[in-house]
Amino acid sequence: MGSLYSYGQIRITGQVTSGKTNEVLAGVTVLERDNPTNGVATGPDGRYTIAVSGPNAVLVFSFIGYRTREVPVGNQQTINVGLAEDARALGEVVVTAFGVEQERRALSYAVQEVDSRLIQETNQPNAINALRGRVAGVSIQSAGGAPGAGSTIVIRGINSLNPNANNQPLFVVDGIPISNQTNLTGGRAGEQADLTGGRAGDIFTNTNRFADLNPDDIASISVLKGPAASALYGLRASNGAVIITTKSGQAGKTTYNFRTSFSVDDVYRTPPMQERYSRGINGVYNPTDYRADGPPIPPGERVYDQWDQVFRTGHQFQNNFSVSGGTEQATFYASLGRLDQTGVVPNSEFERTTAKVTGALKASDRVRVDASANFINSQGTNPRSGVGGSGVVSYASRYAPDVDMLNYLNPDGTQNRYSTQLDNPLFFAENAYQEEDLNRIIGNVGLNYKFTDWLALDYRAGIDYYSNNRRIITRPTVLIAATSRGSISEQSLTYQEINSNLLLTGERQLGENLGLTVSLGNQVTAINTTDVIGSGTNFILPDFNSVNNLGQYTVRSFPTERNIIGVFGDAKLNYKETVFLNVTGRNDWSSTLPVANRSFFYPSVSLAYIFSETLGLSQNRFFNYGKIRASYAEVGKDAAPYLLGTYYSTLPPFLGVAGIRQSTTIGSERLRPERTKGIELGVELAFLGNRLRVDANYAIQNSVDQIVPIPTSRATGFITYVANAGEIQNRVIELVVDAEVLKARDFSWSSIFNFTRLRGKVVSMPEGVDVITFQPESPWVKQRIQTGGRPGDWYGWELSRVNDPGDPAHGRLVIINGYPDVNNNWLGTPLAQDTHIGNAFPDFEGGWNNSFTFKNFSFSFLFNFRKGGDAFDINRRMRYGSAGGESPTGAETNLRNRLVIFDGVINTGTREAPVWVENTTPVVIDVSSLYSQSFRYRLAKEFNGFQDASVLRLQNVSLSYSLPKTLLAKTPFSNLTASVTGNNLWMTSPFIGFDPEQSAYGPGSNVFGYVGTNIPATRSIYFGLNATF
Amino acid sequence: MRKLLNNITMALGVLLLVSCGDLLDVNTDPSRVSAGEATLPTLLPSAQRFTANTLYGAAQYGAQYPQYLTGQAIGQFTPYGFDQLWQPFYSDAFPTLQDIITRAEAVGAFNYSGIAKTLLALNLMTVADVYGDAPYSQANQGTDNLYPCYDKMEDLYQTHIIALLEEALSDLAQPLPSLPSLRTVQNDLIYGGDLAKWTKAAHAIRARYFLHLSEKQPGALATAAQEASLAFSSNADDLQLLHEQQNPNPWFGFIGNATNKPMQPSSYVVDLMSGRGGRFQGAADPRLPIYMTRSGTNPTYVGLTPGRLVGDQPTANVNLTTASWHTRDVAPIQLITYAETQFILAEALFNTNRAESYLAYRRGIEASMRKVGVAEADITAYVDNPAVGLSPATLTLADILLQKYIALFLQIETWTDMRRYQYDPSVYVGLEKPVINQLPGNPWVQRSNLADEEPGVNTCVPSGVTQTSPLWLFQ
């Protein structure tokens, strides 16, 4: 005893437990506050012993997932501490604008957060895909199963009249916006510059640039859905914002994590193909006709399945190593990730290497600095696909079943082509493709300075830079390059975005019941892009893949610059932690608008009221929490660069002379900022001690004064003029139900259900423009935007049916000359006058996730669903055209070359007074009759590939097993988990074809519902191992 | 620390206050130029290329109506709006030519404005002949008139085209501009700045104009003959745009070099040139193997029956290839030729001066043959063949129009000729309607439909347009 005191020390012992459950906590750091080198950790029993300098010492207890607690020693010798769980760890805190963490209860607008575990569990290399089916109000569509294929994320619907506009939200990583641009092949680089690109579809399913991020580095993703949530981010967040927080180090033991997974990917859903008829036309065998309308294939003759022949098994091999740790003063996180992927068609692969370092330093009680650097390199190759008929999948769908696709090379290496109309898909894949590589750096530094305990300054600057080199090779040996004798395009794109954010935050308690937080900020954004493209035709040597090998070529350069300065204020008033009022205002100055209009202000106001507090329900066992919220917000939006004024462009030289011409777009000197205005009403309820939580929203968003390139009569001398015009309204209902169904000692079951119902409406169109038609593929099925309609409205021909409800024949097909009539042509409706046949967007969609844990096992599955919404399967139209496929009526196999009597009625009366009698006229169903005499019938929506795209899908199933801690105690490992995961395992849909939910137009476009030409989505099964030590 | 903070705050302040303007004043596209930087010599070559594109675009699918080519369902399928003519004329050729005229008149460069008016008249006449009514006086005004109404074909002919042609001649006759840099026309891809040739070209276009107009004003026939005689004196004067390998003739990419040919020469032109068409009977035209390539073992040239789709008739054995004269990469796009002016002369003088008409007929054939490289001996043999050579007394309008038909292979002007004679089988001997035509009743096609893209973007389009109603000129 005496000796101890002689050193002036006190010996303290105690036990640390979880304040809520009273479980003992092992590994809790116990430090003497003023002597941080003096620290210990609690043992497996939660006990600790520490010698401190004296009674004035203060002990600091800290542990991941719990609130740090300080306890003055005084004259105690035993200090038992219960630590409170940190709200953040319980999902009670969400990250909102500028990385500000807010208590969920104080939020007055809709935000939904997705935890990293759910993201990593899916093993999706593109983290956006991991969000699919998990967030209400958010629709995610992949462009297909090609390695590196992009995905589209749309929050609360399409809000632009421009089919080529980018409707995607702003992506923010650790407080700094980064690019999620998709640079379409043939489009222009630069944010929003794709005013005309993409009409032909993205033939290489180019990636969305957020996919560069290593999903393993992500700690959480919050989706800010409406303008109220994203108002502070300014104009670039007018379509919502996706806020990503990446992993950072935690004080304590240095931990190492290694995660590996290997996948088996295959195409799990293919269209049926006919296997009865050989090459030829009208039943006559012709081995060089690509159409399969020859005679029946003789018995015993080999028949090939086109899909088995063109698709193979793909693989993903993902490895990720991370190390993190630190002290109370300094923490770090570093990771190295690697993805190697081979696709399901030949010549298709993707690889990505990522490296990330994050560090934070608490330089003093007042100063905290942090920095992060992320380097990404990716390389990929993909064969051509896309909306036109020239793609691997399109060719395969037209290949005759009596030809062996695998036998595609002659001994001299040339293509063994059975018809001059069609390339062999495998040969095509190897001779028409895109190679690309990308280097990207995302970095930021931040400084946080506390002036006082209520006033802090946060400054953060970040850069996102990438350079992307693309080479598109189309060798002269493939049909599409026969005329041009081969073509190559080499493109070098760079993107640089620099952001500077300054935020000054003051937080005061104004009296007992009133709290006020005010933030003032400044943001400067500078975006520079370059796009240099050298392209041409006429190969000099057959196998030299370089623009230097071209007889004719041009080089073009399209740089852009766009700068935005914003200042904003945000005031939060909190009354008794019960009523929360939030008012924001932001003013932006954008370089892309006319000087007179380039400064614009927009406000938001939102209110939340936790009525359960007033009613004193917080301890109620059944209904313990209730909040209502309401908000109104506006977000302004600028234009793309260089839309003001009218320019002249240079033409490539002709006979040695280069000319100049006036551009075909009229810029406007009078552009104003666009506005998105949103009203949102929400309710949040919790029952049974938070075990059942319901969050529901109703939101109306109007996008007005849209800056759109309006198609104009060419007789004006121009093709488009740019103006503020049109209004689109989206009304959305979002529902999230989150239940902890069971929680026992060894077993738990939690369930999250989300539901979205979205209705878009075109409120007004630009003056003089009745309709904007998107007609990329077939004149018989097109999308139209017109006043009173909805975005995604389909127009086309449908089979005519008797529409008099009083007639016994009501609803039956109208038959003329033996074939079904279309588009009420029998009533005199001109064929050119299309009718509304559907909408590309679903009636509702959602997802249902269930997670179970049993001892060391955990198991989860996610279903997602969409009801309604029609897709146009371009592939089916092609299959039909070449007689390869099978229609639902079996017209091309069961009925083929046979006489059929269509089940319908013929009119023996007049147009005005029809008299319907049973159709008895037999007609032959063969390729030529389907082409010519009855071409109308063939092009009716019921037969040309237009279908209901409702889907119920088992999106993800994951099973993992962690070795018990007791077994690991004697090993260096603290955790060892093995897992099996499946994505896209099962689906049911009335849709016949590949996956109905993969847009042929890909990200970077507003066009949805066209499907069937890209590399199909795959079913993937992953085997994974995760070790922490 | 405090000092560091001060520095950062100051730096931000500087950024905000001083460089705001610098940051924001960056909205000038570095990859394009302003109107002030465009000049007459840089606009002229663009306008000439656009004019060639317009004339090519009219013929690209339009060549099916005079039955030069066949094989595309679209030629007969309703409705067809000649987008390939509408688009390059209204968004390329017209604005660029009008731009030249405005700028040239402002600085007194009448050499440039004379050329531009000549070309604009040619373009506009082609548009009028295909569409009838078409936007002109309200067109090309940008946002000042977003919905240009259509001028009547009659007004286009009687007022606007003739005004351009009158001004073209008078501008070309004006003294050269005083500004030395404008005295010589630069970057003239067609005549290298030779204004005498441009004057001949203006007369040639006037000859075509008055020939068309004679349908309404018989007196114009004499003027047509007069203008034709003031026009070209040899093939060397032809108004045409040569192409080069680096920028091949569009026919080359569309058909000549295509692996899968979208169209093939029709049986009508093949039979006529093979000496079995009912006229020039037994006279094998030496231009036939130059115009097209025969394949397979059958030594007889067999064209595709009009209305049939490519591939539907295995006996057809002719194609336009990279070796065919019109679809070679370096082939010219012919706008108006010496041969045509001779046939105009022959037709215009047929009833008034048969001897001169006959001579012009022969000069037209010879010019056409020389142009595509027929040997002199073969030319003589052909024109001396009694079935072709005839005599002033035996010459008929059918002979003139059919030789013009052969000479103007793939030019849209022939469709105007055919409609002037309303597909008269006594002029176009042996001409039959296509075997398949999606237009009900298989009528002769009289005009283009409305341009496909016009309804929906222009509130002032004419109503009731069908492809079967004859245009004003042909009524």
Closest-CA distance, A594 to chain B, in angstroms, reads 9
State how far the Cα of A752 lies from the Cα of A735, in Å rounded to an integer.
10
The pLDDT value recorded for residue A553 is 86
Say yes or no for a CB contact (<8 Å) between B257 and A420.
no
- Residue-wise pLDDT for B65-82, tens only, equals 999 999 876 444 445 789
What is this model's ipTM? Answer: 0.92
**Same domain? A633 vs A510:** yes
Cβ–Cβ < 8 Å for A459, A499: no
- Of B31, B45, B134, Cβ closest to residue A558: B31
Q: Dihedral of CA A113/A115/A116/A119: which sign?
A: negative
From chain A, the residues in CB contact with B124 under 8 A are none
Q: Which of A923, A942, A961 is the last residue of a domain?
A: A942
Say yes or no for a CB contact (<8 Å) between B189 and A449.
no
Q: Which residue has the higher pLDDT, A506 or A96?
A: A506
Say yes or no for a CB contact (<8 Å) between A715 and B148.
yes
Our CA angle for A908, A910, A915, nearest 5°, is: 45
Say yes or no for a CB contact (<8 Å) between A717 and B23.
no
Nearest to B15 by CA among A524, A561, A568, A449: A524
Tally of domains in chain A: 3
> Among A315-319, A783-787, B192-196, whose mean pLDDT is lowest?
A783-787
- The number of C-alpha atoms within 13 Å of A668 and in the hemisphere containing its C-beta is 21
State how far the Cα of A267 lies from the Cα of A479, in Å rounded to an integer.
27
**A88: confidence class by pLDDT, cuts 50, 70, 90:** very low
Cβ–Cβ < 8 Å for A370, A341: no
Q: Dihedral of CA B383/B385/B387/B393: which sign?
A: positive
Nearest to A227 by CA among A560, A769, A675: A675
**A926: confidence class by pLDDT, cuts 50, 70, 90:** low
- Of A447, A557, A661, Cβ closest to residue B46: A661
Average pLDDT estimate for A597-606 = 94
Q: Which residue has the higher pLDDT, A187 or A1016?
A: A1016
Closest-CA distance, B16 to chain A, in angstroms, reads 8
- Is the minimum CB–CB distance between A540 and chain B shorter than 8 Å? no
What DSSP assignment string belongs to A253-295?
EEEEEEEEEEEEEE------B--SB-SEETTEE-TT-SSB-SS
Report the phi/psi class of residue B259: left, alpha or beta, with left for phi > 0 and alpha for psi in -120 to 50.
Answer: alpha
Coil, strand or helix at A605: strand
Q: What is the maximum alpha-carbon separation in chain A?
A: 120
Peptide bond into A641 cis (omega under 30): no
Give me the amino acid identity at A456: A
Cβ–Cβ < 8 Å for A408, A228: no
Q: Which of A37, A63, A85 is the last residue of a domain?
A: A85
Radius of gyration of chain A (CA): 32
Our CA angle for A767, A770, A775, nearest 5°, is: 130
- The number of C-alpha atoms within 13 Å of B30 and in the hemisphere containing its C-beta is 14
Coil, strand or helix at B388: helix
The pLDDT value recorded for residue B380 is 96
State how far the Cα of A776 lies from the Cα of A773, in Å rounded to an integer.
9
Coil, strand or helix at A454: coil
b/e A905-928 (16+ beta carbons within 10 angstroms → b): bbbeeeeeebebeebeeebbbbbe
**Same domain? A257 vs A212:** yes
The pLDDT value recorded for residue A881 is 62
- CATH architecture of the domain covering B250-412: Alpha Horseshoe (1.25)
Nearest to A767 by CA among A833, A702, A712: A712
Cβ–Cβ < 8 Å for A523, A568: yes
Coil, strand or helix at B87: helix
- The A residues from 393 to 412 touching B (CB cutoff 8 Å) are none
Query: Is the per-residue pLDDT at A768 higher than 80?
Result: no
Closest-CA distance, A659 to chain B, in angstroms, reads 5
Coil, strand or helix at A316: strand
State how far the Cα of A526 lies from the Cα of A939, in Å rounded to an integer.
50
User: Taking CA atoms, what residue in B is nearest to A281?
Assistant: B312
Average pLDDT estimate for B443-472 = 88
Q: Which regions of chain B carry the CATH code 1.25.40.390?
A: 38-189+437-474, 250-412
Average pLDDT estimate for A809-815 = 92
The answer to the question of residue A814 being in a domain is yes
State how far the Cα of A1010 lies from the Cα of A1013, in Å rounded to an integer.
9
- Is the minimum CB–CB distance between A592 and chain B shorter than 8 Å? yes
Query: Is the per-residue pLDDT at B11 higher than 80?
Result: no
- Which whole-number Å values give the CA distances from A116 to A127, A244, A845, in the listed order? 10, 10, 23
DSSP state of B150: P
- Is the minimum CB–CB distance between A650 and chain B shorter than 8 Å? yes
Cβ–Cβ < 8 Å for B416, B46: no
From chain B, the residues in CB contact with A562 under 8 A are 26
The CATH number covering residue A852 comes to 2.40.170.20
The pLDDT value recorded for residue A31 is 84
Helices (H), A601-708: 611-614
Cβ–Cβ < 8 Å for A536, A498: no
Q: Does domain B38-189+437-474 have CATH number 1.25.40.390?
A: yes
- Residue-wise pLDDT for B132-179, tens only, equals 999 999 999 998 999 999 999 999 999 999 999 999 999 999 999 999
Query: Is the per-residue pLDDT at A627 higher than 90?
Result: yes
Question: Of all residues in chain A, what percent carry a pLDDT higher than 90?
Answer: 48
The pLDDT value recorded for residue A876 is 78
**Same domain? A32 vs A152:** no
β-pairing, A870-873 vs A946-948, is antiparallel
The pLDDT value recorded for residue B250 is 95
> What values do phi and psi take at B268, rounded to 5?
-65, -50
State how far the Cα of A685 lies from the Cα of A620, in Å rounded to an integer.
13
**Tokens describing residue A837:** 């046949």
Question: Of all residues in chain A, what percent carry a pLDDT higher than 70?
Answer: 91
**Same domain? A859 vs A911:** no
The answer to the question of residue A274 being in a domain is no
**Same domain? A525 vs A655:** yes
Closest-CA distance, B91 to chain A, in angstroms, reads 5
* B426 CB neighbour count, 10 Å cutoff: 9
Beta carbons within 8 Å of A628's beta carbon, 6+ residues apart: A608, A609, A611, A681, A682, A683, A684
The answer to the question of residue A27 being in a domain is yes
- Is the minimum CB–CB distance between A591 and chain B shorter than 8 Å? yes
Q: How far is CA A261 from the centre of its chain?
A: 23
- Of B15, B20, B46, Cβ closest to residue A659: B46
The listed range with the strongest mean pLDDT (A386-390, A573-577, A734-738) is A734-738
Beta carbons within 8 Å of A779's beta carbon, 6+ residues apart: none
> What values do phi and psi take at A447, rounded to 5?
-135, 130
Query: Mutation test of the interface with chain B: which of A539, A599, A655, choosing the one with the most B Cβ atoms within 10 A?
Result: A655
Q: How far is CA A587 from the centre of its chain?
A: 29
Summary mean pLDDT of chain A: 86
Nearest to B387 by CA among B376, B402, B377: B402
Query: Mutation test of the interface with chain A: which of B27, B43, B53, B261, choosing the one with the most A Cβ atoms within 10 A?
Result: B27
b/e A399-419 (16+ beta carbons within 10 angstroms → b): bbbbbebeebeeeeeebebbb
Cβ–Cβ < 8 Å for A143, A1002: yes
State how far the Cα of A980 lies from the Cα of A838, in Å rounded to an integer.
40
Helix B338-348 and helix B354-371, axial crossing angle in degrees, nearest 10: 160
State the residue for tokens 């050729």: B93
**Same domain? A197 vs A332:** yes
Our CA angle for B146, B148, B150, nearest 5°, is: 165
State how far the Cα of A703 lies from the Cα of A720, in Å rounded to an integer.
21
Q: What is the maximum alpha-carbon separation in chain B?
A: 110
The CATH number covering residue A6 comes to 2.60.40.1120
The pLDDT value recorded for residue B1 is 46
- Residue-wise pLDDT for A337-359, tens only, equals 999 999 999 999 999 999 999 99
- Residue-wise pLDDT for A484-533, tens only, equals 889 999 999 999 999 999 999 999 888 888 999 999 999 999 999 999 99
- Residue-wise pLDDT for A818-863, tens only, equals 888 888 888 887 766 788 999 999 999 999 999 999 989 999 999 9
Closest-CA distance, B240 to chain A, in angstroms, reads 14
The pLDDT value recorded for residue A522 is 94
β-pairing, A550-557 vs A514-539, is antiparallel
From chain A, the residues in CB contact with B190 under 8 A are none
Say yes or no for a CB contact (<8 Å) between A483 and B253.
yes
From chain A, the residues in CB contact with B459 under 8 A are 768
Query: Mutation test of the interface with chain A: which of B2, B24, B37, B82, choosing the one with the most A Cβ atoms within 10 A?
Result: B24
Say yes or no for a CB contact (<8 Å) between A647 and B34.
yes
Closest-CA distance, B380 to chain A, in angstroms, reads 35
The answer to the question of residue A297 being in a domain is no
What DSSP assignment string belongs to A154-209?
EESS---S-TTS--PPEEEETTEEE------TTS--STT--SSTTTT--TT-PPPG
- Which whole-number Å values give the CA distances from A857 to A955, A976, A984, A1027, B23, in the listed order? 20, 12, 22, 15, 56
Cβ–Cβ < 8 Å for A718, A665: yes
The pLDDT value recorded for residue B245 is 86
Summary mean pLDDT of chain B: 92
- The A residues from 759 to 788 touching B (CB cutoff 8 Å) are 768-771, 773
- Which whole-number Å values give the CA distances from B7 to A435, A524, A867, in the listed order? 47, 18, 58
Give the structural domain span for A903.
Answer: 798-833+888-942
- Is the minimum CB–CB distance between A623 and chain B shorter than 8 Å? no
Average pLDDT estimate for A669-689 = 92
The pLDDT value recorded for residue B3 is 53
User: Taking CA atoms, what residue in A is nearest to B134?
Assistant: A715
Say yes or no for a CB contact (<8 Å) between B15 and A666.
no
Say yes or no for a CB contact (<8 Å) between B5 and A449.
yes
The pLDDT value recorded for residue A822 is 84
The answer to the question of residue A448 being in a domain is yes
Q: How many interchain CB pairs under 8 A, A with B?
A: 203
- The A residues from 829 to 848 touching B (CB cutoff 8 Å) are 832
- Which whole-number Å values give the CA distances from A401 to A308, A886, A993, in the listed order? 11, 13, 17
> Among A22-36, A215-229, A627-641, A758-772, whose mean pLDDT is lowest?
A22-36
From chain B, the residues in CB contact with A646 under 8 A are 35, 142
- Residue-wise pLDDT for B346-358, tens only, equals 999 999 999 999 9
**Same domain? A52 vs A197:** no
Average pLDDT estimate for A725-738 = 94
Nearest to A589 by CA among A514, A538, A524: A524
Closest-CA distance, B140 to chain A, in angstroms, reads 4
Q: Which of A50, A85, A120 is the last residue of a domain?
A: A85
Closest-CA distance, B468 to chain A, in angstroms, reads 16
The pLDDT value recorded for residue B17 is 46
**B411: confidence class by pLDDT, cuts 50, 70, 90:** very high
State how far the Cα of B58 lies from the Cα of B85, in Å rounded to an integer.
5
**A86: confidence class by pLDDT, cuts 50, 70, 90:** low
